[in-house]
Amino acid sequence: MLVCGIDEAGRGPVIGPLVICGVVVDEEGEESLKSIEVKDSKLLTPKQREVLFDKIKKIVKKYEILIISPNEIDTAVLSKEDNLNWLEARKSAEIIKKLKPDKAILDCPSTNIKAYKDHMKELLKDKTEIIAEHKADVKYPVVSAASILAKVTRDAEIKKLEQKYGRLGSGYPADPITHKFLQENFNNHPEIFRHSWATMKKLKKAGGQRGLGEF
């Protein structure tokens, strides 16, 4: 049986893309992932993730990585018929259709797991078994592997932006480096910001003059 694990990186930050990854393994591959001790990417250091990134790519049968721009995220979030969860579902379905596993395990972004799972089945319209759970990236090695590939890819995309625009920090407004960049550039470089985020809306409304604690 071929099993696909799917996870994302960069869902929350106000800067940069969302990255969604799917990896496919057979039973032997799953054991190999356990042997190299894959974990949820948030539990690993950047160096550990980078080392595992190359090892994972050698173990898995196939993988697919999608980079979703801030503009595409804004379009979904600002739509009356769409939202970020449904965008992630569509991208996950796109990955599953390409990788063609027998079973797909997803780290569910929605609080309503049943609705998300049903929506995935509607999008796929095939016999792929779908498992959607919270914290799947902790429980299933194949999802942990996907989380690592997604996180390393997201970090690489941020490095590219930093080479062009300067230090961005983590992309979360609570990060002092990110906050400084936001205050100085909220009206510049529109292509790298998620304008639908409350942080950006407040900054624009206040002209960038509010203090760090207010965002």
Quick: pLDDT tens for 122-176: 999 998 999 999 999 999 999 999 999 999 999 999 999 999 999 999 998 899 9
- How does residue 206 score in pLDDT terms, banded at 50, 70 and 90? confident
Number of domains in the chain: 2
**Domain membership of residue 78 as a residue range:** 3-162
Residue where a domain stops, chosen among 143, 162, 181: 162
Residue 106's alpha-carbon distances to 21, 91, 133, 192, in angstroms, are 10, 12, 6, 27
Residue 69 per-residue DSSP state: -
Tell me: do 66 and 8 sit in the same domain: yes
On whether both 86 and 34 belong to a single domain, the answer is yes
Question: pLDDT category, 207, cuts 50, 70, 90?
Answer: confident
For residues 179 and 127, membership in a common domain is answered with no
158 and 169 share one domain: no
The pLDDT score that the predictor gives to residue 49 is 97
- Amino acid identity of residue 11, one-letter, is R
In what side-by-side order are the strands of the sheet with 18-25?
62-68, 18-25, 3-9, 103-107, 129-133
Give the separation between CA 194 and CA 190, rounded to whole angstroms.
8
Co-location of 15 and 94 in the same domain: yes
Give the model's pLDDT for residue 106: 98
Is residue 194 packed enough to be buried (19+ CB in 10 Å), middle (13-18) or exposed (0-12)? buried
The pLDDT assigned to 208 comes to: 54
Instruction: Provide the percentage of residues in the chain whose pLDDT is more than 70.
Output: 96
Summary mean pLDDT of the chain: 94
Could you tell me if 208 and 149 lie in one domain? no
Reduce the DSSP state of residue 76 to 3 states and report it. helix
Whichever domain contains 185, its CATH number is 1.10.10
The Cα angle at residue 167 between residues 161 and 172, in degrees rounded to 5: 85
153 and 123 share one domain: yes
Distance (Å, whole) CA 69 – CA 58: 28
Work out whether strand 3-9 and strand 18-25 pair parallel, antiparallel, or are unpaired: antiparallel
Encode pLDDT of 41-58 as tens digits.
999 999 999 999 999 999
* 80 CB-side CA count, 13 A: 0
pTM, rounded to two decimals: 0.93
Instruction: Check pLDDT > 80 for residue 69.
Output: yes
Among the residue ranges 11-15, 39-43, 147-151, 207-211, the one predicted with the least confidence is: 207-211
CB 19 within 8 Å of CB 154? yes
Tokens of 186: 């909220």
* Token pair of 95 as six digits: 């990955």
Residue 212, pLDDT score: 45
Rg (CA), the chain: 18
Residue with tokens 């769409």: 82
What average pLDDT does range 36-41 have in this prediction?
Answer: 94
Q: What is the mean pLDDT of residues 73-89?
A: 96
